[in-house]
Structure 1
């Protein structure tokens, strides 16, 4: 039963992102674009607290799911989710994993994902926003929204992932 809790948690966060976008009033923040990255934040925390292998595997699975459900170009999230998880695992090998560093590393991972998605979309001409407009309209609001989510969810997810890591070692 415990093996199904982690995928269910990620599936719940995947659905929560959709619900958040659906029920957030669009005129609340003017022309700013807030992109919830709740699932990706949890994937980064999984990578930090459980391990690189699990982060990359879950990142690839849920990256493909995001591509199939939401994106017209298959492969952007399928590539970027595991790649950023890998980079964050390498960063965390050098850094201490206290709660402040984990918070900043997770925000850094979200920033890398956002810039990567923007650059891929810009290269294949899906978007025509210039970089500074992207930074002001989407990047900063997305980081603020996800920083609030990480502050709320960091400790409970940390405890859950540490229990999962212990269960993996015991098997």
Structure 2
């Protein structure tokens, strides 16, 4: 049962993100774009609390799934998800790991993902939105939304992933 926990959790978050966008009343936030990155924030917590290898593997799998389902260009999320998880793992080797640091590293990871996706889309002319408009219309609202999610979910994610890591160590 334990081996199905992570794939099921990530699959539920993957589905929940699309449902969140679908049922979120867009007009209630003006012309702001709120992008839920709940799956990615959870992947970052997995990387921080369970391990770099598992985090990168799940990030690559769900990055590819994200590309296939939502994006017409395969490779953007397939590259950025594991790369940012790798960077988060490297940062956590230097900084003491606690929930506050994990919160800020995850929020920084979401910020890097948003900026990276914008830059790639801007370079290949998928978007013509200038950077300051992107920051005001999408970047800040996305960080606020995902920061709120992390405030609510950080402690349960930390506890769950620590238990999962301990169970993995016991199995060895």
After TM superposition, the score normalised by the length of structure 1 is 0.99
Q: How many residues align?
A: 171
Counterpart position of 1:12: 12
Measure, in 1, the Cα distance between the counterparts of 2:169 and 2:117: 35
Measure, in 2, the Cα distance between the counterparts of 1:23 and 1:121: 26
Counterpart position of 2:149: 149
Measure, in 1, the Cα distance between the counterparts of 2:23 and 2:116: 27
Measure, in 2, the Cα distance between the counterparts of 1:124 and 1:169: 44
User: How well do the aligned residues superpose, as a CA RMSD in angstroms?
Assistant: 0.5
2:28 matches 1:21: no
Measure, in 2, the Cα distance between the counterparts of 1:168 and 1:83: 24
Counterpart position of 1:166: 166
Alpha-carbon contact 2:110-2:143 (below 8 Å) kept:
yes
Counterpart position of 1:135: 135
Counterpart position of 1:49: 49
Please list every run of 5 or more consecutive structure 1 residues that lacks an aligned counterpart in the other structure.
none
Measure, in 2, the Cα distance between the counterparts of 1:88 and 1:2: 25
Alpha-carbon contact 2:84-2:109 (below 8 Å) kept:
yes
Counterpart position of 2:104: 104
After TM superposition, the score normalised by the length of structure 2 is 0.98
